[in-house]
Structure 1
Amino acid sequence: MFKVGDYVFRKSYKKDVLFKIDSINRQQIVAIKGVTYRILADANIYDLVPAGGLRSTLNERDAIEIIEKNVNKVLEEHKKLDNKRMRKTGKVLHIDGDAFYLNVCLKYYETLGVDAVGENIAEALQPIKVKELIEKYNPDILVLTGHDALQKDGKEDAIESYKNSKYYIEATKEARKIRPSSEQLVIYAGACQSYFEKILLAGADFAASPNRILIHALDPAFIVERIAYCPFYKVLEVTEATKYIVTKGGISGYEVLGKSRDGGPIL
């Protein structure tokens, strides 16, 4: 009936999000990943319907239009910067549990002129690998993301109700052991419906998801661009940091200082 790689919708959620089948067990429970939203879920195979030729929902197509407009706005802002002086923007280490999303984000970092390196690390391994990768790349900005989900009847204040939030929390704590302050390292962590409050408490500067909603795969990239291009002496307000994210209310956090530095004139 279904196989790994098929695109599907969930009937019980009124076909709200397009998923791709990641695995199917003997009990006919299917692990599914969002195609454009950073959600991971389990579904009974009988709750699924084929997506046919569809590769996006109406909401997801609307998101594509928003992304295109926002990219153009960012690039217009960059054109207004003083191009007669050298400029060093913040370096990003993007650790992602999903290889496809990682590559999408890296593509957009390049488009937006953000200096970024990426590592595809499963969420459960991120707490183990994060310090090693920070030492290797010495970033100014760290992204810890992948997939997550809050159980349908789960309690928002219970860590066991979340698929992967505990890994983002532990990875953030590990990162802070070697980069204790946001002046040394700005951290974004989380994915769809993540345990926002606990991630911030662990030491993140920005996190998902205060309203326990789905976030778009590219939301972390738009946050990062704001931080990377903000001058080091300027406080980046949360409203400015989240200005271009696709999912309004999906990410929030604290004010931080920017990571961009201007140099001497280009001769």
Structure 2
Amino acid sequence: MTIQVGDVVGRLSYQCDILFRIIAMNDKEATLAGEDIRLLADAPLTDLKVLSTQERQIEKQRTKKMEDTSYRLFRQDAKLMQRRQEYQATAGYEDDPDFFELRGRVLHIDGDANYLDRCTVLYERLGVPVYGVHLDEKKMPTQIASLLEMVQPDILVVTGHDAYLKNRGSREDLKAYRHTRYFVECVRIARGLTRGYDDLMIFAGACQSHFEALIKAGANFASSPDRVNIHALDPVYIVSRLSRMSFTEVTNLWEVVRNTITGQKGLGGIETRGAMRLGIPLKEETSRK
């Protein structure tokens, strides 16, 4: 079977453990982007197998089970947070007033248009206001300042594809990563514009990204502590919790990470306050749910 751009393939040398789509190729080699994980890889055409519909469905079903589990756990936590926040806000009142919520607004910049669409759908399901932008990772640093000025978000996500390439250097060398240096530069620019970690919360990184460099640059949360792959939707679960959590609360780091698909090997961060504020009385035009 002839291999072409757009095909969904697996790498024979890795027992086809990850679904990739071909985004570019020449006579000998193809550039691959993960279908469900934020990994970019190169592979010789001889190592690729075009996957059948049945093979793709089996893997998709496995991934969907993990996604559904994370979504269910997130919704359970969100309900508990909401009950706790409303209880604290109504202490001493006999009649509970009707509240509205001003949830933290997200600016999500993504190097993959397909992932951005999937993330946007999930933000909407979770009731999180979002402004999404698709940009090539290399162009992100040139656009970040103007986007922040235009959107005025509470939370910034800078993500896309990445990979650690052992043949280019050690784990501490940013030159050994496909896109980490662009994510780092975005974080530096954003943090230079807004110094407070609770005034602008930042998630940055993708698969195998240099976690320590991103945190040092000013990110609240980042990937990937153990240089493992992360799921396409992991950033959404991290920042959606911040968006829906009261500004009077500080994150329990384990609670933030545990309901993601990848977990703490791929995601980490620092203590951060939530972005949501309650208000009364409830009027349709004031709610941002």
1:2 — aligned with what?
Answer: 3
Farther-moved stretch of structure 1 (158-167 vs 105-114): 158-167
Specify the SS of the correspondent of 1:102.
helix
User: In the TM superposition, what whole-angstrom CA distance separates every residue of 1:179-206 from its partner, at most 9, and x where no partner exists?
Assistant: 1121210000000000111111111111
More strand by share: 1
Task: Report the CA distance between 1:229 and its aligned residue.
Answer: 1.1
1:247 — aligned with what?
Answer: 262
Farther-moved stretch of structure 1 (66-75 vs 115-124): 66-75
- The correspondence of residues 139-158 of structure 1 with structure 2, limited to 5 A, is 139-153=153-167, 154-158=169-173
Taking the aligned partners of 1:47 and 1:97, their CA distance within structure 2 comes to 26
Distance 1:150 1:233, change over 3 A: same
In the alignment, is residue 14 of structure 1 matched against residue 15 of structure 2?
Answer: yes
Tell me if the contact between 1:238 and 1:255 (Cα under 8 Å) persists in the aligned partners.
yes
1:41 — aligned with what?
Answer: 41
Query: Of the candidates 90, 96, 111, which is equivalent to residue 104 of structure 2?
Result: 90
In the alignment, is residue 184 of structure 1 matched against residue 199 of structure 2?
Answer: yes
More helix by share: 2
In the alignment, is residue 257 of structure 1 matched against residue 257 of structure 2?
Answer: no
Taking the aligned partners of 2:76 and 2:262, their CA distance within structure 1 comes to 22
- TM-score, normalised on structure 2? 0.87
Task: Report the CA distance between 1:264 and its aligned residue.
Answer: 1.4
Taking the aligned partners of 1:206 and 1:51, their CA distance within structure 2 comes to 35
1:66 — aligned with what?
Answer: 66
Tell me if the contact between 2:22 and 2:30 (Cα under 8 Å) persists in the aligned partners.
yes
Tell me how large the CA RMSD over aligned residues is. 1.6
Specify the SS of the correspondent of 1:55.
helix
- The correspondence of residues 29-178 of structure 1 with structure 2, limited to 5 A, is 29-53=29-53, 54-55=55-56, 58=59, 61-79=61-79, 81=82, 82=86, 84-153=98-167, 154-178=169-193
Larger-gyration structure (1/2): 2
Task: Report the CA distance between 1:240 and its aligned residue.
Answer: 1.7
Tell me if the contact between 1:16 and 1:57 (Cα under 8 Å) persists in the aligned partners.
no
Task: Report the CA distance between 1:29 and its aligned residue.
Answer: 1.4
2:242 — aligned with what?
Answer: 227
User: In the TM superposition, what whole-angstrom CA distance separates every residue of 1:38-94 from its partner, at most 9, and x where no partner exists?
Assistant: 000111111111112132554x53331122133233334444524921111110000
Distance 1:197 1:56, change over 3 A: farther
Letter aligned with residue 250 of structure 1: G
Specify the SS of the correspondent of 1:30.
strand
Specify the SS of the correspondent of 2:56.
coil
Tell me if the contact between 1:237 and 1:254 (Cα under 8 Å) persists in the aligned partners.
no
Letter aligned with residue 210 of structure 1: P
In the alignment, is residue 206 of structure 1 matched against residue 206 of structure 2?
Answer: no
Specify the SS of the correspondent of 2:121.
helix
Taking the aligned partners of 1:141 and 1:247, their CA distance within structure 2 comes to 21
Tell me if the contact between 1:92 and 1:140 (Cα under 8 Å) persists in the aligned partners.
yes
Task: Report the CA distance between 1:32 and its aligned residue.
Answer: 0.5
Aligned residues: 265
Tell me if the contact between 1:230 and 1:258 (Cα under 8 Å) persists in the aligned partners.
yes
User: In the TM superposition, what whole-angstrom CA distance separates every residue of 1:234-263 from its partner, at most 9, and x where no partner exists?
Assistant: 111211211311012211010101101011
Taking the aligned partners of 1:24 and 1:68, their CA distance within structure 2 comes to 34
Taking the aligned partners of 1:18 and 1:193, their CA distance within structure 2 comes to 17
Letter aligned with residue 227 of structure 2: R
Task: Report the CA distance between 1:266 and its aligned residue.
Answer: 2.4
Gaps of 5+ in 1: none
Tell me if the contact between 2:243 and 2:275 (Cα under 8 Å) persists in the aligned partners.
yes
Taking the aligned partners of 2:126 and 2:253, their CA distance within structure 1 comes to 20
- TM-score, normalised on structure 1? 0.94
Specify the SS of the correspondent of 1:242.
helix
Distance 1:139 1:75, change over 3 A: same
